Structure 1
Amino acid sequence: MNETRQIRFRVAGMDCASCASKIDTAVRRLPGVSDVSVSVTAGTLLVRHDGSGDAATIRKQVSRLGYDATPADDTTAWSEPASPDGCAGNGGHCHGDHHADGTAGLHGHDHGPTEGPWWAGRKGRLTITAGLALALAYALGLAFPAIASPAFIAAMLVGLVPIARRAFMAARAGTPFSIEMLMTIAAIGAVIINAAEEAAAVVFLFLIGELLEGVAAGKARAGITSLAALVPKTALVEEAGRIREVPAETLPVGTVILVRPGDRISADGVILEGESTIDEAPVTGESTPVYKSVEDTVFAGTVNGDAALRIRVTAAAADNTIARVVRLVEEAQEAKAPTERFIDRFSRYYTPGVVAVAALVAIVPPLLFGAGWSEWIYKGLAVLLIGCPCALVISTPAAIAAALSAGARRGLLMKGGAVLEGLRELTALAFDKTGTLTQGRPKVTDILAFDRPEAEVLRLAAALETGSSHPLALAILERAATDGLSVPAASDARALGGKGVSATVDGKDLFLGSPKAAAEQSPLSGEILAAVAALNDEGKTVSLLLADNLPAGAIAMRDEPRADAATGLKALKNAGLRIVMLTGDNAATARAVGSVLGIEVRAELMPEDKQRIIGEMQREGFVVGKVGDGINDAPALAAADIGIAMGGGTDVALETADAAILHGRVGDVALMVDLSRRTMRNIAQNITIALGLKAVFLVTTIAGITGLWPAILADTGATVLVTLNALRLLRPIR
Structure 2
Amino acid sequence: MTAGQVQTRYRVSGMDCASCAAKIEAVASRLDGVAEASVSVAAATLVVRHDSGADLSALPARLKPMGYGLALALANAEPARTSAPAAAPEACCDHDHDAHGGHDHGGHDHADHPHAGPDHSSPPPDRDASAGGHDHAHGAEPGEGGFWSNGKARLTLASGAAFAAAFLAGLILPQVQTPLFIAAMLVGLVPIARRAFAAAAVGMPFTIETLMTIAAVGAVIIGAAEEAAAVVFLFLVGELLEGFAAGRARDGIKALAALVPKTALVARGGDFVEVPAAQLAVGDTILVRPGDRIAADGEIVAGEGGIDESMVTGESAPVTKGVGAGVFAGTVNGDAALTVRVTATAEDNTIARVVKLVEEAQEARAPTERLIDRFSRVYTPAVVVIGALVATVPPLLLGGDWGEWVYKGLAILLIGCPCALVISTPAAIASGLSAGARRGLLLKGRAVLETAGKVTVVCLDKTGTLTEGRPKVTDVIGFALPEPEVLRLAAALEGGSSHPLAKAILDRAAADGLSIPVASEGRALGGKGVTGIVEGREVFLGSVAAGAARVALEPQTEDRLAGLNDEGKTVSLVIVGDVLVGAIAMRDEPRADAAAGLAALKERGLRTMMLTGDNARTAAAIGRALGIEVRAGLLPEDKQRIVSELKRQGDIVAKVGDGINDAPALAAADIGIAMGGGTDVALETADAAVLHGRVRDIAGMIDLSRRTMRNIRQNIGISLGLKAVFLVTTVAGITGLWPAILADTGATVLVTANALRLLRRTGE
Whether TM-score is above 0.5 comes out as yes
The total of aligned residue pairs comes to 716
Q: How does 1:221-620 map to 2 (within 5 A)?
A: 221-506=250-535, 508-620=537-649
Shift of 1:131: 1.1
Counterpart secondary structure, 2:448: helix
Q: CA–CA distance in 1 between the matches of 2:753 and 2:539?
A: 69
Contact 1:109 1:162 in 2 (8 A): yes
Q: CA–CA distance in 2 between the matches of 1:24 and 1:137?
A: 39
What residue number does 1:64 align with?
Answer: 65
Shift of 1:493: 3.9
Q: For the structure 1 residues 76 and 649, does the alpha-carbon distance in structure 2 shift closer, same or farther, using more than 3 Å as the test?
A: farther
Q: CA–CA distance in 1 between the matches of 2:202 and 2:321?
A: 56
Shift of 1:287: 2.2
Q: How does 1:194-233 map to 2 (within 5 A)?
A: 194-233=223-262
What residue number does 1:87 align with?
Answer: none
Contact 2:302 2:322 in 1 (8 A): yes
Counterpart secondary structure, 1:257: strand
Q: For the structure 1 residues 660 and 270, does the alpha-carbon distance in structure 2 shift closer, same or farther, using more than 3 Å as the test?
A: same
Contact 1:6 1:76 in 2 (8 A): yes
2:196 aligned to which of 162, 167, 180: 167
What residue number does 2:119 align with?
Answer: none
Q: CA–CA distance in 2 between the matches of 1:675 and 1:526?
A: 55
Counterpart secondary structure, 1:244: strand
Q: Please, which moves more after superposition, 132-141 or 309-318?
A: 309-318
2:685 aligned to which of 656, 672, 685: 656
Taking structure 2 as the reference length, the TM-score comes to: 0.91
Residue 11 of structure 1 aligns with an amino acid whose one-letter code is V
Shift of 1:680: 0.4
Contact 1:510 1:549 in 2 (8 A): no
Shift of 1:444: 1.1
Q: CA–CA distance in 2 between the matches of 1:388 and 1:528?
A: 81
Q: CA–CA distance in 1 between the matches of 2:616 and 2:42?
A: 49
Q: CA–CA distance in 1 between the matches of 2:55 and 2:706?
A: 41
Shift of 1:310: 2.2
2:136 aligned to which of 90, 95, 109: 109
1:675-703 CA deviation, whole Å, 9 max, x = no partner? 11110000000000000000000000110
Contact 1:646 1:660 in 2 (8 A): yes
Taking structure 1 as the reference length, the TM-score comes to: 0.94
Residue 357 of structure 2 aligns with an amino acid whose one-letter code is L
Residue 160 of structure 1 aligns with an amino acid whose one-letter code is L
Residue 743 of structure 2 aligns with an amino acid whose one-letter code is A
What residue number does 1:682 align with?
Answer: 711
The answer to whether residue 643 in structure 2 is matched with residue 642 in structure 1 is no
Shift of 1:595: 1.0
Q: Please, which moves more after superposition, 668-677 or 286-295?
A: 286-295
What residue number does 1:626 align with?
Answer: 655
Contact 1:647 1:653 in 2 (8 A): no
Shift of 1:186: 0.7
Q: For the structure 1 residues 460 and 306, does the alpha-carbon distance in structure 2 shift closer, same or farther, using more than 3 Å as the test?
A: farther
- Extract unaligned runs of 5+ from structure 2: 80-122
Q: CA–CA distance in 2 between the matches of 1:52 and 1:244?
A: 45
What residue number does 1:191 align with?
Answer: 220
The answer to whether residue 180 in structure 2 is matched with residue 151 in structure 1 is yes
Identity %: 67
Residue 726 of structure 1 aligns with an amino acid whose one-letter code is A
Counterpart secondary structure, 2:251: helix
Q: CA–CA distance in 2 between the matches of 1:440 and 1:730?
A: 32
Contact 2:139 2:246 in 1 (8 A): no
What residue number does 2:13 align with?
Answer: 12
1:89-138 CA deviation, whole Å, 9 max, x = no partner? xx9x9999975xxxx432x3243562434322111111111111111111
Shift of 1:20: 1.1
Q: For the structure 1 residues 542 and 650, does the alpha-carbon distance in structure 2 shift closer, same or farther, using more than 3 Å as the test?
A: closer
Contact 1:2 1:51 in 2 (8 A): no
Q: CA–CA distance in 2 between the matches of 1:603 and 1:489?
A: 40
Q: CA–CA distance in 1 between the matches of 2:78 and 2:615?
A: 51
Contact 2:659 2:678 in 1 (8 A): no
Q: For the structure 1 residues 8 and 544, does the alpha-carbon distance in structure 2 shift closer, same or farther, using more than 3 Å as the test?
A: same
Shift of 1:229: 0.5
Counterpart secondary structure, 1:512: strand
Contact 2:70 2:129 in 1 (8 A): no
Cα RMSD, aligned residues only: 2.0
Q: CA–CA distance in 2 between the matches of 1:401 and 1:166?
A: 27
Q: CA–CA distance in 2 between the matches of 1:96 and 1:136?
A: 33
Indicate the structure whose relative CO is greater, using CA pairs within 8 Å and at least 6 residues apart: 2
What residue number does 1:135 align with?
Answer: 164
Counterpart secondary structure, 1:180: helix
Counterpart secondary structure, 2:203: coil
Q: CA–CA distance in 2 between the matches of 1:342 and 1:363?
A: 32
Counterpart secondary structure, 1:425: coil
Q: For the structure 1 residues 343 and 163, does the alpha-carbon distance in structure 2 shift closer, same or farther, using more than 3 Å as the test?
A: same
Q: CA–CA distance in 1 between the matches of 2:245 and 2:321?
A: 39
Residue 642 of structure 2 aligns with an amino acid whose one-letter code is I
Contact 1:614 1:624 in 2 (8 A): yes
What residue number does 1:30 align with?
Answer: 31
Counterpart secondary structure, 2:352: helix
Residue 109 of structure 1 aligns with an amino acid whose one-letter code is H
Q: CA–CA distance in 2 between the matches of 1:235 and 1:435?
A: 33
Shift of 1:569: 0.9
